């Protein structure tokens, strides 16, 4: 079955924001009185806040402080984003344009909230809306990654069967969400996770970054079709 759409994660896949998310979570934990090392937070980046807090602190802390922690993380991230210049990973516009020229739809599926995505765009000096066909953020889904909700909603909004869609992400949680939504996933190494971690999570292939994906686009599309 021919591929008809490619869905992209944003944080760590298109824009270099993961380091700031780690620090924002560290500050949020501090504000609520939790001493959590950065080394414990970093492996969970890629999950939405509803999944990250219980993964790091456990269910009891989630019930007690989860909402406050997510609010603090949002505040800290927006504050840091206002003073940061986020790097856009290479050749994103070229990649999206080439996909459109091949007849594919391009969508973004992110665990970021709308205001976070807006802050990312402002800091990175990019506007995604003119470049893609669809943007789906955290508020469109009941649960965030690694639950499949965001990807399933994106596929539904695209009006395509999941077998005609592929996901591109930087974390094992993108791969898990994709698998549970019956969408194949490709990985990039720009989010801090190793090739081995991504392959173990079920990605079909791993590329260095978005430019490397564009360079190997024919191979990528071929593998997507073969695995559909």
Residue-level pLDDT at 66: 97
> Per 3-state DSSP, what percentage of the chain is helix, strand, and coil (rounded to 5)?
55, 15, 30
- Burial (CB < 10 A; 0-12, 13-18, 19+), residue 37, is exposed
| Mean pLDDT within 154-172 | 98
* pLDDT at res. 224: 82
DSSP string, 91-148: THHHHHHHHHHTT-EEEEE-SS-HHHHHHHHHHHT---GGG-SEEE-GGGSSS-TTSS
For the chain, give every domain's residue range: 5-17+86-227, 18-81
Confidence of residue 223 (pLDDT cuts 50, 70, 90): confident
CATH fold for domain 5-17+86-227? Rossmann fold (3.40.50)
Q: What is the pLDDT of residue 136?
A: 97
C-alpha distances in angstroms, 140 versus 12, 111, 192? 20, 10, 26
pTM, to two decimals: 0.95
Whether the upstream peptide bond of residue 70 has omega within 30° of 0, thus cis, is no
Q: How far apart are CA 194 and CA 171, in angstroms?
A: 9
* Distance between first and last Cα of the chain: 6
Q: Which of 156, 147, 154, 153 is nearest to 175 (CA)?
A: 147
* pLDDT computed for residue 122 by the predictor: 97
- Closest CA relative to residue 179, chosen from 108, 111, 227, 213: 227
Determine contact, residues 77/116, Cβ cutoff 8 Å: yes
| Interval 78-126: pLDDT, tens | 999 999 999 999 999 999 999 999 999 999 999 999 999 999 999 999 9
Contact 204, 184 (CB under 8 A): yes
Instruction: Please check the confidence at residue 227 and state whether its pLDDT lies above 90.
Output: no
For residue 148, name the pLDDT band (cuts at 50, 70, 90). Answer: very high
């Amino acid at each position: 079955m021919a591929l008809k759409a490619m869905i992209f994660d944003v944080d760590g896949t298109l824009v270099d924001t993961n380091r700031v998310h780690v620090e924002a979570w560290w500050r949020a934990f501090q504000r609520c009185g939790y001493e959590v090392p950065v080394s414990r937070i970093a492996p969970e980046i890629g999950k939405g806040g509803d999944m990250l807090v219980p993964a790091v602190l456990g269910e009891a802390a989630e019930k007690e402080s989860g909402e406050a922690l997510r609010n603090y993380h949002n505040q800290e991230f927006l504050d840091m984003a206002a003073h940061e210049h986020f790097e856009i990973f290479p050749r994103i516009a070229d990649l999206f344009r080439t996909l459109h020229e091949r007849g594919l739809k391009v969508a973004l599926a992110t665990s970021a909230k709308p205001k976070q995505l807006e802050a990312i765009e402002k800091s990175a000096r990019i506007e995604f809306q003119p470049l893609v066909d669809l943007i789906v953020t955290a508020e469109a889904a009941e649960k965030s990654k690694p639950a499949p909700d965001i990807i399933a909603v994106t596929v539904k909004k695209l009006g395509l069967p999941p077998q005609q869609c592929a996901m591109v992400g930087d974390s094992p949680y993108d791969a898990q969400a994709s698998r549970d939504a019956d969408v194949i996933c490709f990985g990039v190494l720009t989010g801090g996770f190793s090739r081995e971690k991504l392959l173990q999570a079920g990605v079909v292939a791993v590329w260095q970054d978005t430019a490397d994906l564009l360079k190997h686009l024919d191979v990528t599309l071929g593998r997507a079709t073969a695995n559909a």
